[in-house]
Structure 1
């Protein structure tokens, strides 16, 4: 099946918001966000100053997405990207869609001359860790903290 990977557009808002909501609440078991806040969040990417979101489409249906945030690295003295999300709906996993989304993020990072792309995943998300290792990624030297 043909998969199209492209940036999220305003016409994608209505079908994309329920997927993003499900990702937050069902997949990551986080408190439900206010739907108008979620909509404003997605719309903020349309200006593309803080990041970009990509969607995967099959037969005009959104089956996955990835989010890249733009920030800076003091050590590289350059802008970098952080892939904050990479998600494919369960019944479409194993079809190469995550790889295509990942490659879109990687290509965007290179094309726009960011120094590198980094990302994190949950300790218990072993499926994602196996996926990243298959792509040749290695665990980094840094330990993440939150407060």
Structure 2
């Protein structure tokens, strides 16, 4: 039986910046992505725009420790004539994994979606991220869609 920690899922706040930076750097490291503080600052700016370019939720323990985060963005679904959300990033600190925090973060986005009449929440993960996939398989349908991307040169 999983021991559920007492966590609160809430929108990210300005005072979360330092904790979020540490977690986001750990997330990048998990996926072996080189990330600089300037890159994190850019994402933080997107989170602070009005309206935000992306939204973030954090999972906070009863003691005030941020244990995880989730980034999502809203998108139009022309074929369905509806709106949806795409989860870009989801991370839970290693010592808190397996306690239902990722599920709580995803369920919070689903609740936001229901309130806003979205028709879908989507995300992807690496094929070899078996622990995350085991969690996601309990919450969502694994679709038959394949992901493609074109890498574009960055303009500096």
TM-score in same-fold range (> 0.5): yes
Stretches of 4+ aligned residues off by more than 3 angstroms: none
Q: Which has the larger radius of gyration?
A: 2
- Cα deviation, 1:123-146, whole Å, max 9, x if unaligned, reads 1111111111122x2211211011
Q: How many residues align?
A: 144
- Hey, what's the Cα distance between the residues in 1 that align with 2:22 and 2:60? 15
Alignment match of 1:145 (pick from 137, 144, 148): 148
Say yes or no: does 1:51 pair with 2:54: yes
Indicate the SS of the match to 1:56. strand
Deviation of 1:2 after TM superposition, in Å, equals 1.5
Alignment match of 1:36 (pick from 18, 21, 38): 38
Give the conservation status (yes or no) of the 8 Å contact 1:10–1:43: no
TM-score between the two structures when normalised by the length of structure 1: 0.90
Say yes or no: does 1:4 pair with 2:47: no
Which stretch shifts more, 56-65 or 39-48?
39-48
TM-score between the two structures when normalised by the length of structure 2: 0.85
- Hey, what's the Cα distance between the residues in 2 that align with 1:110 and 1:123? 28
- Hey, what's the Cα distance between the residues in 1 that align with 2:90 and 2:33? 16
1:85 matched residue in structure 2:
89
Indicate the SS of the match to 1:127. helix
**Unpaired stretches in structure 1, ≥5 consecutive residues:** none
Alignment match of 1:19 (pick from 18, 23, 33): 23
Which stretch shifts more, 81-90 or 47-56?
47-56
Indicate the SS of the match to 1:71. strand
Deviation of 1:48 after TM superposition, in Å, equals 3.8
Indicate the SS of the match to 1:32. coil
